[in-house]
Amino acid sequence: MNIYVIGPVTGKPSRNIKEFSRVKEALRIAGHKARIPHEFIGDYLRWDDCMRISVREMLRFGRFSTPSWPSYRYGGIAMLDGWEDSKGARIEHDLAVSLGIECRPWREWL
């Protein structure tokens, strides 16, 4: 399954990329294809621009989507520890849940 990883970035050393990468690798070993926001977002952008890019990616339609049969690229959302303390991750989580995209703590995807 394709999984998008969300979690705290702002205020973390190196934008928390080590933790995001560690979880991405654990999900890959478990048989998933995971993506992290750092793959799409540069260091130089403002928070609101980063959120727009991340949400756009999280809601991207899959390769074989059609107007009459849309499907999301990501079948689920994996949440890093501490996601509840991140304004951005809470926004991503709440949006995904409201749209019916399954959200779980990352360990539950293993």
Q: What is the CATH number of the domain that holds 99?
A: 3.40.50.450
Query: By residue range, what is the domain housing residue 96?
Result: 2-109
Is the pLDDT reported for residue 95 higher than 80? yes
Say what the pTM is: 0.93
Catalogue the long-range contacts made by 37-44 (C-beta closer than 8 Å, 24 or more residues apart): 37/5, 37/6, 37/9, 43/15
Strands 76-79 and 33-35: unpaired
Question: pLDDT tens-digit profile of 53-91?
Answer: 999 999 998 877 777 777 889 999 999 999 999 999 999
Question: pLDDT tens-digit profile of 19-35?
Answer: 999 999 999 999 999 99
How high is the pLDDT of residue 9? 96
Count: domains in the chain: 1
How high is the pLDDT of residue 68? 74
How high is the pLDDT of residue 109? 98
How high is the pLDDT of residue 43? 83
How high is the pLDDT of residue 26? 98
How high is the pLDDT of residue 1? 94
How high is the pLDDT of residue 100? 92
